[in-house]
Structure 1
Amino acid sequence: MKKIYAKQLEEKLKAGEQLNILDVREDEEVATGKIPGAKHIPLGQIPERLNELVKDKPYYIVCRSGGRSGQACAFLSAKGYDVTNVEGGMLAWEGETE
């Protein structure tokens, strides 16, 4: 499984890279703030919402600490998606949130 640290992801965003970030936390967690521009699909809803994701785009998957995003990466990777797990998740995120 590919992985990236939260700080590296933040540096890519600061450099102006257009990234597809998928936040798989629950609604109440996202209410406290998410990475600007991140798409929110709770982990349990991913199977029925696959139509919202594009297979030819790479995705960076984030959760609170990296566990659920790892599960999402395993599932999406098996379905043919290009995914990278954000190590440390939002606990390690120091950048701005929306």
Structure 2
Amino acid sequence: MENPAFRHLSIDTLTTWLDADHPLTVVDIRDPASFAAGHIPGSGHLDNDSVAALLEATPRERPLVVVCYHGHSSQQAAAWLAGQGFNEVYSLDGGFTEWEHRLPGRVERGGP
């Protein structure tokens, strides 16, 4: 059976990975104002202007986690990124909204 282009990732698993300094890249595809208002610490803002730099600089073997508002739009972006040759691409279930609700102390503020 063939693996899907991307996988779903729970907030609990992402938290475990971040706490263990698991090597990964986290990208947030929400609009710049929403990203500046709050995002997962260590995540980068990804949009049409920054995607080329991501594709050039990010190792394809490093897990890549895509975050959006609620975990829906990130699925499309994750599928597209998987098609760009990334080996492990994840869409964060619940998105940033659920992350902020469950882990308000683990939200970074500031612009992209």
The structure number with the bigger radius of gyration is: 2
Q: Cα distance 1:46–1:87, how it changes in 2: closer, same or farther (>3 A)? A: farther
Structure 2 length as normaliser, TM-score? Answer: 0.74
Is contact 2:10-2:93 (8 Å) kept?
yes
Q: Secondary structure at the match of 1:48?
A: helix
The percent identity for this pair of structures is: 29
Cα distance, 1:22 vs structure 2: 1.1
More strand by share: 1
Shift of 1:47: 4.8
Aligned to 2:3: none
Unaligned runs of 5+ in 2: 1-5
Q: Secondary structure at the match of 2:64?
A: strand
1:11 maps to which residue? Answer: 16
1:97 to 2:107 alignment: yes
Q: What is residue 22 of structure 1 aligned with on the other side?
A: 27
Pairwise CA RMSD of aligned residues? 1.8
Q: How does 1:67-86 map to 2 (within 5 A)?
A: 67-81=72-86, 82-86=88-92
Contact 1:4-1:84 within 8 A present in 2 as well: yes
Match for residue 37 of structure 1 among 14, 18, 42? 42
Closer, same or farther: CA 46–79 of 1 in aligned 2, 3 Å: farther
CA–CA distance in structure 1, aligned partners of residues 46 and 8 of structure 2? 19
SS in 1 for 2:107: coil
Give the alignment's TM-score, normalised by structure 1: 0.83
